[in-house]
Amino acid sequence: MERPSFSVVFLPRALPDRLNWQLLISRYKDFRLHSLRTSPAVFGSTFERENNFGEDVWDGRLRNMRATNIVAIACNNHADSSDEPNRTPNALLHDWLGSIVLIEMEKSNQEPISRSALVLPRSRELETPAQLVLHFHINAVFVDPVARGRGIGAALVDEAVSFGVRTAAARGLQTAEFTLLVDDYNTEARRLYENAGFEEAQVDEDEIGFRSGDGPL
């Protein structure tokens, strides 16, 4: 049987059509709650906690200028996914298979961590002064169990890293740095990140910890 294809798309921070925006919030919420229910051990948050969130929290997560939400959808026509203003986004037309969130860090946004920290080392090799590096934290990585092992996780990480590097370049910064937290026993996720070039980080835990607007993801 032929495996269904997927595309990776960026979620918009606003939509001109109010109904579509409500639908997007609803799908975003449903997929996030699905991930927390399906893989309760691997996230910093819980289904019980987020199931009580009001719509304003989900709306805020989508609108957050520091968070870039990327999803994999069951659709193989990547060209279709361009954001034409009055077109229904592909994220509303196809099933969601996976997600990743890229959070732009700021120094004051820190908390201690208890899990392993991984870092993509390329920026360190350049020995770039810290003020010329844009720091992103990767979060909420999840692929629906029915779609795992097809490269979707790898595609999401790759797209997130590419976006971070492009963003840094667009701001005239020399490079982007990426960190993430992963449990030692989460072998699937560790393999995914290590294949993408991440390495165990020898960094101050306070340096890598973070807090998003409404708490840990």
Ligand X SMILES: CC(C)(COP(=O)(O)OP(=O)(O)OC[C@H]1O[C@@H](n2cnc3c(N)ncnc32)[C@H](O)[C@@H]1OP(=O)(O)O)[C@@H](O)C(=O)NCCC(=O)NCCS
List residues near ligand X by CB under 6 A: 39, 42, 141-143, 148-154, 182, 186-189, 191-192, 195
CB of 191 to ligand X, least distance (A): 3
Cα separation, 6 vs 149, in Å, equals: 13
Nearer to ligand X, 15 or 103 (CB): 103
Bridge partners of residue 146, in order along the sequence: none
Bridge partners of residue 23, in order along the sequence: none
Cα separation, 196 vs 159, in Å, equals: 11
CB of 93 to ligand X, least distance (A): 21
Cα separation, 16 vs 201, in Å, equals: 42
Nearer to ligand X, 151 or 197 (CB): 151
Buried b (16+ CB within 10 A) or exposed e, 83-120: eeeeeebbbbebebbbbbbbbbbeeebbeebeebbbbb
Nearer to ligand X, 64 or 186 (CB): 186
CB of 144 to ligand X, least distance (A): 8
Give the CB-nearest residue to ligand X.
153
Nearer to ligand X, 11 or 101 (CB): 101
Nearest to 104 by CA among 132, 130, 137: 137
CB of 16 to ligand X, least distance (A): 32
